[in-house]
Chains A and B, each alone.
Chain A
Amino acid sequence: MRIVVIGNGMVGYKFCEKMITKSAGTVTELIVFGEEPRPAYDRVHLTSWFDGKTADDLLLASAEWYAQKGIQLHLGDPVVQIDRENKTVLSHKGITTTYDFLVIATGSAAFVPPVPGIDKKGVFIYRTIEDLEMMKAYAPKATRGAVIGGGLLGLEAAKALLDLGIRHTHVIEFSSRLMPRQIDEQGSAILQTKLANLGLKVLTGKNTREILGDDAITGLQFADDTILETDILIVSAGIKPRDEIAKTAGLLTGPRGGILVNEQMQTNDPAIYAIGECALYNNMIYGLVAPGYEMAEVAASHISGDIKAFTGFDMSTKLKLIGVDVASFGDPFTDPESCHSIVFEDKYKGTYKRINITTDGQFLLGGILIGDASAYNLLLQTTKNKLVLPANPEDLLLGSSRGNTDTGAGVTALPDEAIICSCESVSKGSICQAVSDGYETLETVKKCTKAGTCCGGCTPMVKDLITATMKAQGKYIRNVVCEHFAYSRQEMLDLIRVKSLRTFDEVLDHYGEGEGCEICKPVIASILASLWNDMILDKGNDTAQDSNDRYLANIQKGGTYSVVPRIPGGEITPEKLVVIGEIGAKYNLYTKITGGQRIDLFGAHLSDLPDIWAELIAAGFESGHAYGKALRTVKSCVGSTWCRFGLHDSVSFAIRIEERYRGLRAPHKIKSAVSGCIRECAEAQSKDFGIIATEKGWNLYVCGNGGSKPQHAQLLAADIDSDTCIRYIDRFLMFYIKTADPLTRTATWLNKLDGGMDYLRNVVLNDSLGIADQLETEMQLLVDNYKCEWKEVVENPELRKRFSHFVNAPADKDPTIKFETMRAQKKAAEWK
Chain B
Amino acid sequence: MSTIHTTATSWFFACKTSDVPTNGGVCVKYKDEQIALFYFARRNEWYATQNLCPHRRQMALSRGMTGTVKDEPKVACPFHKKTFSLKDGRCLSDETECAITTYPVKIVEDRVYIGVDMETAAV
Contacts and interface: CB of A to CB of B under 8 A. Distances in A.
Interface stretch (B3-11, B17-25, B99-107): B17-25
A516 B20 CA distance: 18
Interface stretch (A84-92, A749-757, A802-810): A802-810
A812 B67 contact: no
A832 B42 contact: no
Given A515-B66, A516-B68, A517-B69, A542 B21 contact: yes
A514 to B, nearest CB: 4
B22 A808 contact: no
A570 interface: no
A543 B70 contact: no
A325 to B, nearest CB: 42
B69 to A, nearest CB: 7
B29 A543 contact: no
A816 interface: yes
Interface in B66-108: 66-71, 73-74, 76, 78-79, 81, 83
B23 A540 contact: yes
Contact of A517 (B40, B60, B76): B76
Interface in A536-553: 540, 542-544, 546-548, 550-551
Nearest to B39: A543
B65 interface: yes
A529 to B, nearest CB: 16
Given A483-B70, A807-B15, A832-B57, A543 B23 contact: yes
A202 to B, nearest CB: 55
A514 B65 contact: no
A543 B22 contact: yes
Given A514-B67, A548-B78, A807-B28, 12 more contacts: A484-B68, A505-B23, A515-B66, A515-B73, A522-B65, A540-B22, A542-B21, A557-B58, A805-B27, A807-B14, A831-B56, A831-B57
Nearest to A518: B76
A520 B14 CA distance: 30
B91 to A, nearest CB: 14
Given A515-B43, A518-B76, A543-B22, A816 B59 contact: yes
A806 B65 contact: no
A809 B63 contact: no
Given A505-B42, A515-B67, A542-B24, A809 B29 contact: yes
26 contacts: A483-B69, A514-B67, A515-B23, A515-B40, A517-B68, A517-B74, A518-B81, A540-B21, A546-B78, A547-B65, A547-B78, A548-B78, A551-B63, A555-B79, A559-B58, A559-B60, A806-B28, A806-B34, A807-B15, A807-B27, A808-B14, A808-B15, A814-B27, A814-B34, A831-B56, A831-B57
Contacts of B81: 518
Nearest to B93: A518
A514 B68 contact: yes
A773 to B, nearest CB: 37
A343 to B, nearest CB: 54
A807 B20 contact: yes
User: Most chain-B CB neighbours within 10 Å: which of A508, A543, A555?
Assistant: A543
A515 to B, nearest CB: 4
A514 B40 CA distance: 11
A543 B28 contact: no
Contacts of B56: 831-832
Contacts of A517: 65, 67-69, 74, 76
A329 B84 CA distance: 57
A515 B28 contact: no
Contacts of B24: 542-543, 550
A547 B63 contact: yes
Nearest to A548: B78
Contacts of A238: none
B34 to A, nearest CB: 8
Interface string A548-587: 1011000101110000000000000000000000000000
Contacts, number: 101
A518 B65 contact: yes
A521 interface: yes
User: Most chain-B CB neighbours within 10 Å: which of A806, A807, A831?
Assistant: A807
Contact of B29 (A518, A547, A558, A806): A806
Contacts of B83: 518
Contact of B78 (A521, A555, A806, A807): A555
User: Most chain-A CB neighbours within 10 Å: which of B60, B63, B74?
Assistant: B63
A832 B81 CA distance: 17
A807 B37 contact: yes
A812 B29 contact: yes
Given A555-B79, A806-B29, A543 B14 contact: no
B23 A814 contact: no
Instruction: In the A-B complex, list the 4 residue pairs whose CB atoms are closest, starting with the nearest.
Output: A517-B67, A547-B78, A543-B24, A518-B76
Nearest to A515: B68
Interface in A487-546: 505, 508, 514-518, 520-522, 540, 542-544, 546
User: Most chain-B CB neighbours within 10 Å: which of A514, A515, A555, A814?
Assistant: A515
Interface string A27-55: 00000000000000000000000000000
Contacts of B68: 484, 514-517
A566 B76 CA distance: 29
Contacts of A542: 21, 24
Nearest to B20: A807
A518 B67 contact: yes
A521 B76 CA distance: 12
Contacts of B74: 517
Contacts of A805: 27
Contact of B65 (A546, A558, A559, A812): A546
Interface string A797-832: 000001001111100101011000000000000011
Nearest to A547: B78
Interface string B35-69: 00100101100000000000011111001111111
Nearest to A540: B22
Contacts of B27: 805-807, 814
A267 B73 CA distance: 75
Contacts of A508: 42
A812 B66 CA distance: 25
User: Most chain-A CB neighbours within 10 Å: which of B27, B37, B57, B71?
Assistant: B27
Contact of B64 (A515, A547, A812, A817): A547
A809 to B, nearest CB: 5
A816 B34 CA distance: 10
Contacts of B29: 806, 808-809, 812
B85 to A, nearest CB: 13
Interface in A449-464: none
